[in-house]
Amino acid sequence: MKNPALINCWFIIILILVSLSRIPPAYAEKVRNGNELALNYATNNTAGKIALIKSVAGVFHTFRYLKVTEIKTNAPRDGVVTLTAVEPSSDIMVRITLNTPLSLEIVKSLQTGECVSCKGRINNSGAAQTNLLVLDPAVINHKDREAPKLTKELLREIDKSAY
């Protein structure tokens, strides 16, 4: 007679494998280049800008080389910091709403005139403005340089905490 514990063990393993095979695979959301979006936004007419914003509303974008022009605390709600920055290739204003602890820690040492790299969802839910993109919610990755490096760029050169 076969060992009943061994049969039960194999039954449990088969049951687990069947259960796991029925779970759909997880997909990460694609991250798009926000600097290219800003450039496309700047070169469109008003109707094109409205259509572009509608097509990317709620989509995750990454921006680099944003020069901070204004820092507001507790705006538009308590515990939130709002940065206004300029995207260099298109001169489009980008309003960044931050509320995560890591981003708020980076903002403490940030001054106007410095550049940041951030990512967030496009959220232009207010009145249609022709030269403003809104990232809400957003996260600051790190302080950034003002322009791309002409040679190969290493993450350690930008973010000193990177390994």
User: Looking at the domain assignment, is residue 62 inside a domain?
Assistant: yes
Give me the CATH number covering residue 93. Answer: 2.40.50.140
- Structural domains counted in the chain: 1
**Rounded to whole angstroms, how far apart are CA atoms 49 and 128?**
9
Domain of residue 121, residue span? 32-158
User: Looking at the domain assignment, is residue 24 inside a domain?
Assistant: no
Please check the confidence at residue 97 and state whether its pLDDT lies above 80. yes
The pLDDT, as a whole number, for residue 131 is 84
The two beta strands, 60-73 and 115-122, are antiparallel
**Rounded to whole angstroms, how far apart are CA atoms 130 and 128?**
6
User: Looking at the domain assignment, is residue 87 inside a domain?
Assistant: yes
**Rounded to whole angstroms, how far apart are CA atoms 84 and 70?**
5
Residue 49: pLDDT band (50, 70, 90) is confident
* pLDDT higher at 42 or 128: 42
In DSSP notation, the chain reads ---HHHHHHHHHHHHHHHHHHTSPPP-PPPPEEHHHHHHHHHHS-HHHHHHHHHHHTT-EEEEEEEEEEEEEES-SSTT-EEEEEEETTTTEEEEEEE-SHHHHHHHHT--TT-EEEEEEEE---SS--TTEEEEEEEEEEEEE-SS--SS---HHHH-TT--
pLDDT tens sequence across 119-139:
999 987 655 667 889 998 899
pLDDT tens sequence across 52-68:
888 998 889 999 999 99
**Rounded to whole angstroms, how far apart are CA atoms 92 and 36?**
11
User: Looking at the domain assignment, is residue 133 inside a domain?
Assistant: yes
User: Looking at the domain assignment, is residue 92 inside a domain?
Assistant: yes
User: Residue with structure tokens 């990232």?
Assistant: 135
pTM of the model: 0.74
Q: Mean pLDDT, to the nearest integer, of 7-17?
A: 83
The pLDDT, as a whole number, for residue 98 is 93
User: Looking at the domain assignment, is residue 100 inside a domain?
Assistant: yes
* Alpha-carbon radius of gyration of the chain: 23
User: Looking at the domain assignment, is residue 5 inside a domain?
Assistant: no
The pLDDT, as a whole number, for residue 125 is 63
User: Looking at the domain assignment, is residue 132 inside a domain?
Assistant: yes
